[in-house]
Amino acid sequence: MVRRLGTDIPTEDRNYYITTPIFYVNASPHIGHLYSAVTADYLHRYKLLQGFNSRFATGTDEHGLKIQQAADAAGQDPLSFCTKVSERFKHLFKSCHISYTDYIRTTEERHRCAVEHFWTVLQSKGFIYKGNYEGWYSTQDESFLTPSQVGDAKDSSGKEIKISLESGHKVEWMIEENYMFRLSEFRSRLQEWLEGNPRAVQPERFHHAVLQWLQEDLPDLSVSRQRSRLQWGIPVPGDLDQTIYVWLDALVNYLTVAGYPDTHSQWWRAAHHVVGKDILKFHAIYWPAFLLAADLPLPQTIHVHSHWTVGGKKMSKSLGNVVDPLERSQRFTIDGMRYFLLRQGVPDTDCDYDDDKVVKLLNAELTDSLGGLLNRCTAPSLNPAQVYPHFCSDSFPSQGTEAHKGRAVDEDYHMLDAVRALPAVVEQHYESVHVYKALEAINRCVRQTNGFVQRHTPWKLGSGDGRDQLWLDTILHVSLECLRMYGTLLQPIVPEMADKLLSRLGVKPEEKSWAALDFLVKYQGKDCPFEGRALGPDTGVLFNRLERPNAEKGKPKKAKKATKVKS
């Protein structure tokens, strides 16, 4: 029996707050941004299915020198520039069924108020002081770096420059009078937090990476820039000659959405972040230190994911290999792209994007395997009454009750065991954000169910024989029960397709929750609410077959209808 987290926990612990990073508006969204958003979205949908009160925030980071320079280069005022790019992110997320409950922009007044209050708290507690900062700074990363994080390189003209060893971006030596945050005071507390909470940063390799960083001394952090250098940002309260550092500004967005400083406590203690590995230090060292300084709870979990590459190389405009997520979601469908990203994305290693790989995967697993099973088991030739057929315990008796008298074989019982265990397996992997393992497990069971149908060839069973008809109905009942499980479990991943599948089976909206994952209750001797119920309308194939990409790169191709499986 699957553990139902949504129903066996105290009411006050049913809140769940998930965030993506807020995305920097210096360029249009790419496939990595969509991957972050889809990851947070499936967690939000999954928790709702379990009965949680879930809140899901995303948005855009709109301050900083990089934005100021990009707006100047575009000949636009910064706010107009930010609004234009922010709308592209919002359009992408709406188009891809990202079901956020709050879209935050750091240029909003509510956020400015939250940042000013947060700054004042840190300053009043003595954690912010005026000092001189002298060191390396990357404008591209909006990041201060220690000498050990900087290396030598040459630019395109052959001139020797200093770069960030992590990002490869150029750094410059900077001397400024700024406000400093006493980061050095929090090293031991951060180590205690991580060592006492092994799941605070996931996957494990990133947890180890943060602890490794903390082996070195943490220098105090500059948390402002001179207003003469950076005008596009929130002024330091009480000092109009200084602008708050963009990362301090940006990180507070998570509190802004939670209702800080007045009504945040209900949601903030249930906070979980989804971030890319490139911003791990900001989220796992700077952010927890800021929160500790402000006497606020730390995030429950920081879920970290790796990057998407193309041909093994990082996506960049100069290489011309940036994958447009909106165009791909139109070409391969919204659910198709969601499924591919979560099926192929492995959190702790970089993943390579390839159009041909998308087509092969979706055709094999969604069109042929899952779609073929649904089409076969609901075909009028096998199920002319178009109902959820009855289960016959004589044809498929419980194991150990003289099973040899039935028509089920050992492989069939193995399939039942696998599908019965599937919700717990999927739940484990959804919780740990190893979604690819959950989808592997579902796909494995789908293949077993197809094997079950193929093994017993129900299309050969004559309707004239009463026992054959009972066995035919039982085969279809078991297969539809398997499909109902797969459809319910896939809702967070491919919401539109899963709804189509469940609706075809005649499953009602209130029967689609995690609590409804009771598999094949007739086999357990209980009444089945679906037995004898009319199937839903046939709205066509579950997932249209996709054509392989041709040599004309970037040209959208029309989807080709899947061939109906003969039955």
Q: How far is CA 303 from CA 102, 186, 436, in A?
A: 19, 22, 15
For residues 545-560, give the mean pLDDT: 60
550 pLDDT tier (thresholds 50, 70, 90): low
Q: What percent of the chain has pLDDT over 90?
A: 72
**Is pLDDT above 60 for 560?**
no
CB of 110 within 8 A of CB of 261?
no
For every residue of 275-293, DSSP letters joined together read: EEGGGHHIIIIIHHHHHHH
- Reduced to 3 states (helix: H, G, I; strand: E, B; else coil), residue 302 is strand
Considering the entire predicted model, what is its pTM? 0.90
pLDDT on residue 135: 78
DSSP bridge partners of 301: 272
**CATH 3.30.2010.10, domain 15-127+182-344, yes or no:** no
pLDDT on residue 146: 76
Return the biggest CA–CA distance within the chain.
92
Domain residue spans of the chain:
15-127+182-344, 354-534
For residues 338-366, give the mean pLDDT: 95
Q: Which of 23-27, 405-409, 466-470 has the lowest mean pLDDT?
A: 405-409
CA torsion 282-285-291-293 (nearest 10°) is: -120
More confident position, 407 or 189: 189
Contacts of 539 (CB under 8 A, 6+ apart): 500, 503, 504
- Token pair, residue 371, equals 């779609």
pLDDT in tens, 249-297: 999 999 999 999 999 989 999 999 999 999 999 999 999 999 999 999 9
DSSP state of 406: S
Amino acid at the residue 286: Y
Q: DSSP E strands: which ranges in 101-256?
A: 102-105, 128-138, 143-145, 150-154, 160-164, 172-181, 201-202, 221-222, 224-226, 235-236, 239-244
For residues 34-61, give the mean pLDDT: 97
pLDDT in tens, 134-186: 778 887 777 777 787 888 888 877 888 888 887 788 888 878 889 999 999 99
Amino acid at the residue 562: A
CB of 40 within 8 A of CB of 341?
no
- Token pair, residue 18, equals 């998930």
**Is pLDDT above 90 for 120?**
yes
The alpha carbon of residue 104 and the mean position of all alpha carbons in its chain are separated, in whole angstroms, by: 18
Backbone angles phi, psi at 493, to 5 degrees: -90, -50
Q: Do domains 15-127+182-344 and 354-534 have the same CATH topology?
A: no
Return d(Cα 259, Cα 252) in angstroms, integer.
Answer: 11
Amino acid at the residue 126: G
**Is pLDDT above 60 for 340?**
yes
CB of 434 within 8 A of CB of 351?
no
Return d(Cα 525, Cα 401) in angstroms, integer.
Answer: 13
pLDDT on residue 39: 98
Pairing of strands 15-19, 53-61: parallel
More confident position, 563 or 385: 385
Task: Sort 75 into a burial class: Cβ within 10 Å, 0-12 / 13-18 / 19+.
Answer: exposed
Return d(Cα 517, Cα 254) in angstroms, integer.
Answer: 33
pLDDT on residue 320: 77
Q: What angle do CA 457, 463, 464 make, to 5 degrees?
A: 130
CB of 335 within 8 A of CB of 95?
no
| Cα end-to-end distance, the chain, whole Å | 33
pLDDT in tens, 416-426: 999 999 999 99
Return d(Cα 185, Cα 475) in angstroms, integer.
Answer: 66
322 pLDDT tier (thresholds 50, 70, 90): confident
> 340: how many CB neighbours lie within 10 A of its CB?
24
- Token pair, residue 158, equals 């052959």
**Is pLDDT above 70 for 110?**
yes
558 pLDDT tier (thresholds 50, 70, 90): very low
For residues 302-325, give the mean pLDDT: 86
> 150: how many CB neighbours lie within 10 A of its CB?
18
pLDDT on residue 261: 94
For residues 60-75, give the mean pLDDT: 91
The alpha carbon of residue 336 and the mean position of all alpha carbons in its chain are separated, in whole angstroms, by: 15
> 83: how many CB neighbours lie within 10 A of its CB?
16
pLDDT in tens, 426-469: 999 999 999 999 999 999 999 999 999 999 988 888 666 788 88
Return d(Cα 2, Cα 8) in angstroms, integer.
Answer: 12
2 pLDDT tier (thresholds 50, 70, 90): very low
Amino acid at the residue 350: D
565 pLDDT tier (thresholds 50, 70, 90): very low
pLDDT in tens, 508-523: 999 999 999 999 988 8
Residue with tokens 């709050």: 102
pLDDT on residue 4: 45
Domain 354-534, CATH number (from 1.20.120.530, 3.10.20.30, 1.10.730.10, 3.40.50.2300)? 1.10.730.10
Give the DSSP H/E element, type plus range, for residue 128. strand 128-138
For residues 123-140, give the mean pLDDT: 87
Q: What angle do CA 289, 294, 298 make, to 5 degrees?
A: 55
Q: Mean pLDDT, the chain, as a whole number? A: 90
567 pLDDT tier (thresholds 50, 70, 90): very low
Helix axes 31-49, 410-432, angle to 10 degrees: 110
